[in-house]
Amino acid sequence: MLAALLISAAHGQAEDRLAVHLRSCAGCHGADGNSAVPGTPSIAAQPQIFLENYLVMTREGIRGTQLMQSLLKGMPDREIVALAKHFSALKAKPAREPVDKKLFQRGKSVAAANRCASCHLPDFRGREQMPRLAGQREEFLAEAMLAYRQNRRPGGDTIMAASLYGIAEQDFKALAHYFSRLK
């Protein structure tokens, strides 16, 4: 009886802690994981492994913003896994912004010519440590590519700088436009 009470109390506490964490994430990433803030990525429907890796590296101070680093500092692995599970199960809701057909087509052909789908999957929903690109915020994607190119994405996988090798910077805009408009 007492043991059962203690277990349910501990369970309740874990839920409270997750709820508190989720409220702080929501301030920037949106309550449903779809960001309305320029420069801040959506994190709904990202692969769980990508989220876990990113959050662990942020906790250790090698990725993410200072604010996220302080939010995650000392967070036990099980709470990080709970956060990653939560966001990976949410639905991606791309912003309903107009499509520039020329830019979209250009992005599509650059992505095909460079085999981006071989890792991010043909519908660009990502898998394992490879993030979802479909429906991500356009300006965030463009900036992320530029940052890989300029080696200023701390903790970022070097495979991405290599994958972008030889692509003109103006095509980052087209790629970002294309991915952001995919459902």
* Sites for ligand HEC among residues 58-117 (CB under 6 A): 64-65, 67-68, 71, 83, 111, 114-116
The residue count of the chain comes to 183
Amino acid identity of residue 88, one-letter, is S
* 45 is an interface residue for ligand HEC by CB under 6 A: no
Cβ distance to ligand HEC smaller for residue 92 or 111: 111
Residue 159 binding ligand HEC, by CB under 6 A: yes
Distance CA 82, CA 25 (A): 13
Gyration radius from the chain CA atoms: 18
**Contacts of the segment 101-105: beta carbons below 8 A, 24+ positions apart:** 103/173, 103/174, 103/177, 103/178, 104/174, 104/177, 104/178, 104/181
As measured in angstroms, the least distance from the Cβ of 112 to ligand HEC is 9
Residues that bind ligand HEC (CB under 6 A): 21, 24-25, 27-29, 39-41, 43, 51, 54-55, 64-65, 67-68, 71, 83, 111, 114-116, 118-120, 129-131, 133, 136, 141, 144-145, 153, 156-157, 159-160, 163-164, 167, 175
